[in-house]
Amino acid sequence: MKFNEIIIETTSQGLEILNAILLKLDITEVIIEDASVFEEFLESKTMNWDYYDESLNNMKNCPSRVKLYLNEDEQGEKQLLALKSEIDNLKNDSFGIDMGSLNLQMNTVNDEDWANNWKQFFKPFEVGKHIIIKPTWETVENDTDRVVLEIDPGASFGTGQHFTTQLCIEQIEKYIKKDMKILDMGCGSGILSIASILLGAKNVVGVDIDENAVRIARENALVNGIHEDKFTTYCGNVIEDERLQDTIGYNQYDMIAVNIIADIIIAMSDSFPKFLKQGGILVTSGIIEKYVDKVKETLKNIGFEILETRQKEDWVSITALYK
């Protein structure tokens, strides 16, 4: 099968905005190339290199990029036209973020050409004090005292390398207590859910609007030896679907994790008190600086006390207590 390979140049700060746009267009299979993450990888003092090529140094100076693959059919053509329109709109309103050139390139490739080529840049890395994330095709040293979280994102967003995901994992690690019940709203590849269980959660419920994400989350959980008694997934819109809300269950979660974007966090904020126990913890991430005060105000107005605000680059995580 042939695909159109679309490459959009941006910045590290612009990656999350582009990803949100792609999700809106039902484009979920993407490859994220974050220049800042690659620079960290190159400069790591603990990295054991199997080889080194001086040309690799040039990559840390390249733009961050999003790659996606659309079928060469009518649906793919419609998605491409919609994407071009969204990019044009983004050039006019960039949310106060440096989005880079937003240059869009297109190539025609065969599926076997792209299925595995991105994997060479996804290496094991540490998050927080207790977790090391590794792709399923890599190995880690046996003498590590960290909990190993294996992930195969299926060429979709959710490897844990982005600042927003790292912020979430670090806050979950800080506030989690043994045998907590956790709700992961927008579970994606399942990385936050799996991390929560490995850190001591009794069980986790993961919800996502994308069927492919839910499938990948289940598969990743199994890779880590986590079964349905510990991790349950649902596909649907938790804001609008009352039946799904009933199924998830009210006022029974000790923690909610939400790693999306500020607008969606605000849109779903009324549902947080429905699901959390009194005294429950809310961990949010994916928020750009511009919207921090707005998110805080929204949470305070529905009964939350802000416990902590943490930031990496232009991305912010807000942790709050439901009083």
Model confidence over 252-291: pLDDT tens digits?
A: 999 999 998 888 899 999 999 999 999 999 999 989 888 9
**For residue 2, what are its two tokens?**
């042939």
Query: Which pLDDT belongs to residue 131?
Result: 92
Predicted local confidence at residue 45, as pLDDT: 42
Whether pLDDT at 154 is above 60? no
Span 41-100, pLDDT tens digits: 444 444 333 333 444 444 455 678 888 888 777 878 888 999 999 999 888 876 678 888
> Is the pLDDT reported for residue 36 higher than 80?
no
Assign 230 to helix, strand or coil.
coil
The string of pLDDT tens digits covering residues 170-199 is 999 999 999 999 999 999 889 999 999 999
The domains found in the chain, sorted by start residue, are: 2-117 (3.30.70), 160-322 (3.40.50.150)
Amino acid at 36: S
Q: How far is CA 185 from CA 28, 121, 291, in A?
A: 17, 28, 19
Looking up tokens 């709700």, which residue turns up? Answer: 183
Strand-pair category, 147-151 with 131-135? parallel
Q: What is the pLDDT of residue 125?
A: 84
Mean pLDDT, residues 30-42 taken together? 61
Phi, psi of 250 (to 5 degrees): -100, 145
What is the number of other CB atoms lying within 10 angstroms of the CB of residue 272? 24
Dist. CA 293–CA 34, nearest whole Å: 27
Q: With pLDDT > 90 as the criterion, what percentage of the chain qualifies? A: 47
- Any residues with CB less than 8 A from the CB of 125 and at least 6 apart, and which? 41, 132, 133, 134, 160, 161
Question: Which residue did the predictor score with more confidence, 209 or 201?
Answer: 201
Asked if pLDDT for residue 155 goes beyond 60, the answer is no
What is the DSSP-derived secondary structure letter of residue 160? S
What local confidence, expressed as pLDDT, does residue 13 receive? 80
Cβ-proximal residues to 60 (8 Å cutoff; 6+ apart), any chain: 35, 38, 39, 42
Share of the chain residues as helix, strand and coil, in percent rounded to the nearest 5: 40, 30, 35
Name the percent of the chain lying above pLDDT 70. Answer: 83
Total-model pTM = 0.68
Choice between 20 and 251, residue whose per-residue pLDDT is larger: 251
Q: Regarding predicted confidence, which is higher, 216 or 3?
A: 216
pLDDT band at 15 (very low <50, low <70, confident <90, very high): confident
**pLDDT attached to residue 22:** 84
Whole-angstrom distance, CA of residue 37 vs CA of residue 60:
8
- Tell me what the pLDDT averaged over the chain comes to: 84
What three-state secondary structure class fits 271? helix
Within 8 A by CB and 6+ apart from 168, the residues are: 192, 257, 259, 283, 285, 317
Q: Which of 2-16, 50-64, 131-145 has the lowest mean pLDDT?
A: 50-64
The pLDDT score that the predictor gives to residue 56 is 42
Q: Which residues pair with 53 in a beta bridge?
A: none
Q: What is the pLDDT of residue 74?
A: 82
Task: Say whether pLDDT at 135 is over 90.
Answer: no
